[in-house]
Amino acid sequence: MASASNNWQAWVNIKWKPGTPETAWQAWKKNKWVKGVWSTTGTWDCTVWLDVKTPDELEKFVWKNVRNNKWVENTDTVWAKNWWSNWSAASKSA
């Protein structure tokens, strides 16, 4: 059985301002909480996946890094704590 992470997972959806360069998100790669960044279609232009220990760490990242980025027009955040998943066990044994 897979063990649950003690961390919170969060997905920050981002709407860019017009004219945003493709590199606007790259500074976030250096942050230890960032697990991935995706370009998306639809209402949001980008999604950032975070793995944080507390909701306070999530809030700190969003306000210090994302909302402080001059190219960010708007954000929406969804977060959850993993209780169990098959992919956790599979990724550890791979």
Question: 61: domain CATH number?
Answer: 3.30.70.920
Is residue 3 in some structural domain? no
pTM, two decimal places? 0.78
Residue identified by tokens 């697990």 is: 35
pLDDT at residue 1 tops 50: no
How many domains, the chain?
1
Task: Establish if 71 belongs to a structural domain.
Answer: yes
Would you say residue 42 lies in a domain?
A: yes
Q: How sure is the predictor about 86, in pLDDT bands with cuts at 50, 70 and 90?
A: confident
Read off the pLDDT of residues 24-79 as tens digits, 9 standing for 90 and up.
999 999 999 999 999 999 999 999 999 988 889 999 999 999 999 999 999 999 98
Residues contacting 42, CB < 8 A, separation 6+: none
Q: How far is CA 44 from CA 5, 15, 59, in A?
A: 27, 5, 19
Query: How crowded is residue 77: how many other Cβ atoms within 10 Å of its Cβ?
Result: 17
pLDDT (0 to 100) of residue 2: 42
Query: Which residues span the domain enclosing 76?
Result: 8-93
- pLDDT reported for residue 88: 55
Residue 17, domain member (yes or no): yes
Residue 2 is assigned to a structural domain of this protein: no
